[in-house]
Amino acid sequence: MSEWTADVDRRIYKGIEVGLNRNFLKSGDTVVIITGWKPGAGSTNTMRIMSVQDVREKEHLAPITGISSVPSFHKMPTEFTTVSSDENQFNPEEESIPRFF
């Protein structure tokens, strides 16, 4: 299994773990995962349909070691705009989030 494939699987398991912890998911739910078959843009062509299992407290994949690629941070902007703490705040009385469960 390549490092990239293992990393994608770790992200899926972490997403399921977060969903379980926040009660968005429960064991037995079905999730659809869209991913690419290789790293990079333009390769998103794979759909996985999984039944959620409780992944908390379980080691599904070995820890990442010997990573040969590092994210490219040199393309990140050097200046960021500041947003006031009053702007872009979610107000549940004004907006609602659709619930599907």
Q: Is residue 51 part of a domain?
A: yes
Examine residue 76 and state whether it is found in any structural domain, yes or no: no
The answer to whether residue 79 is domain-embedded is no
Single pTM value for the model? 0.53
- Residue 16, Cβ neighbours under 10 Å: how many? 23
In a structure prediction context, what are the per-residue pLDDT tens digits for the chain, which is 101 residues long? 677 788 888 888 888 888 989 999 998 999 998 888 777 787 778 888 988 887 776 666 555 555 455 444 445 555 555 555 555 565 656 655 555 55
- C-alpha to C-alpha distances, 95 to 47, 51, 83, 90, nearest whole angstrom: 31, 31, 20, 7
Does some domain include residue 39? Answer: yes
Nearest to 19 by CA among 30, 35, 5: 30
Per the structure, the complete domain to which residue 40 belongs is given by: 3-56
Residue 74 lies in a domain: no
Q: Give dist(CA 62, CA 65) in Å, integer.
A: 9
| Residue 97 belongs to some domain of the structure | no
Domain count, the chain: 1
